[in-house]
Structure 1
Amino acid sequence: MTNSGSAFDAATRIAAGDDKTRYDNFSVALHWATAFLVLAQFVTSQTWGWFGRPTHHTLVVAHMTMGVLLTAVIVIRLVWRLTPGHRMAPIATGWMVIASRAVHWLLYLLLLSEAVLGWITRWSEGRAMSFFGLQIQPAFPAWSKAEHHAIMERHEQVGWVIVVLALLHALAALYHHYALHDRVLVRMAPWLRA
């Protein structure tokens, strides 16, 4: 009876669209680490101009350190996602699946681009990248001021696009949770109730 009871319970949950699947703990940790680092990167870059030394310098160094961490998290996250067994079947159907996949891959592409632009921005002025005080020396000679400012502007523009897209991504997850009452958000935030 127990075996058939649990099979019936599982079938009932599946019929109700609730198969109790969620992302693995490592995927969840990588997702929220990415979200935290993107937000922290944005806040530091938008506020360091408000302060003089030494706070300004501390925020710039923190931004670089978190940028190196974010680069590592993005690479690990992509490798993990592309490894078999770590992809989830979509809950939504039709255009929602296409939109969801497009936004996810666009965010990955933008995050990778932003990481590369961050490294190039720092190195293009002939200065080392700082990672918890460790100086990572430039891989190429300094660029002209005009070239440096152009790449710095691109870095800032891509950052804004990431923040806007991430905000839309978060709003879509909240819409799924509160309006559609599905498990899209719960699969990445298992501490929430469906």
Structure 2
Amino acid sequence: MQSSERASSYSKPAMFFHWATAVFILVGLFAINIRGPKGTDSRLFWNSVHIWAGSLILALSIMRLLWKLWHGAPAELAHSPVQLFMARLVHLALYLLIFVQPLLGIAMVNTGGNAVTLAGTGWHIQWFSKDPVAHQFLHDAHFLIGNAAYWLIGLHAFAALAHHVVFQDATLTRMSRFSRDR
């Protein structure tokens, strides 16, 4: 699709992938933060919610990337070179987050000696064998990236709001117009 033919807003499927991913990120972060003490039923339940959220984020991210590769994205809005660079950098970091974090989670659980089990499905994901050294590294990486996600998501939301309120451009609205016929 040539840039002159590209829509000014994202398509409904692209918006769905974006907002569904955002919801599951929030669910996953919520679940991991309220899960409770080790060995409790609460912890088991919220860990399951966290794992489901991460699995859905990964699945949605794959579909989102395939959709974007197949259908493209709207033309970038005219901004300064610094703003374009920062937007691309943050979006790259967000894409890495939605792919790498769930994969790290799976690897972390596996190297801890367990399969990732999707509650209620009977599905078990076991890609790696038990490895205590790798497990600790993956745990630390998953934890560090999870904490960095708060800042990255906050920066993304702040930038979208700044574009809407300060710059008064279509950056925010082109990802939130669900009423269009697309």
Which residue of the partner structure matches residue 53 of structure 2? Answer: 66
Aligned residue among 140, 147, 150 for 2:128: 140
User: Normalising by the residue count of structure 2, what TM-score does the alignment of the two structures yield?
Assistant: 0.86
Which residue of the partner structure matches residue 3 of structure 2? Answer: none
Which residue of the partner structure matches residue 172 of structure 1? Answer: 159
For the pair 1:125 / 2:102, whether they are aligned, the reply is no
For the pair 1:92 / 2:78, whether they are aligned, the reply is yes
- Residue 117 of structure 2 aligns to a residue whose secondary structure is strand
Aligned AA (1:110): L
For the pair 1:44 / 2:31, whether they are aligned, the reply is yes
**CA displacement, residues 51-107 of structure 1 (integer Å, 9 cap, x when unaligned):** 862111100011111111111011111111122x33111113222122111211121
Which residue of the partner structure matches residue 115 of structure 1? Answer: 102
- Give the Cα–Cα distance (whole angstroms) in 1 for the partners of residues 27 and 38 of structure 2: 17
For the pair 1:151 / 2:138, whether they are aligned, the reply is yes
Larger Rg: 1
- Residue 172 of structure 1 aligns to a residue whose secondary structure is helix
For the pair 1:186 / 2:173, whether they are aligned, the reply is yes
Q: Name the % identity.
A: 28
- Residue 49 of structure 1 aligns to a residue whose secondary structure is coil
Aligned residue among 49, 60, 65 for 1:78: 65
Deviation beyond 2 Å, 4+ runs, structure 1: 49-53, 132-135
C-alpha contact (below 8 Å) 2:115/2:125 kept by paired residues: yes
- Residue 36 of structure 2 aligns to a residue whose secondary structure is helix
Cα gap change, 1:150 to 1:119, in 2 (>3 Å) = same
Paired positions, count: 172
C-alpha contact (below 8 Å) 1:126/1:138 kept by paired residues: no
Aligned AA (2:26): L
Cα gap change, 1:69 to 1:20, in 2 (>3 Å) = closer
- Residue 55 of structure 1 aligns to a residue whose secondary structure is helix
Gaps of 5+ in 2: 1-5
Q: Deviation at 1:163?
A: 2.1
Gaps of 5+ in 1: 1-18
Cα gap change, 1:20 to 1:178, in 2 (>3 Å) = farther
Aligned residue among 27, 31, 55 for 2:14: 27
Aligned AA (2:124): I
Aligned AA (2:147): W
- Give the Cα–Cα distance (whole angstroms) in 2 for the partners of residues 96 and 64 of structure 1: 35
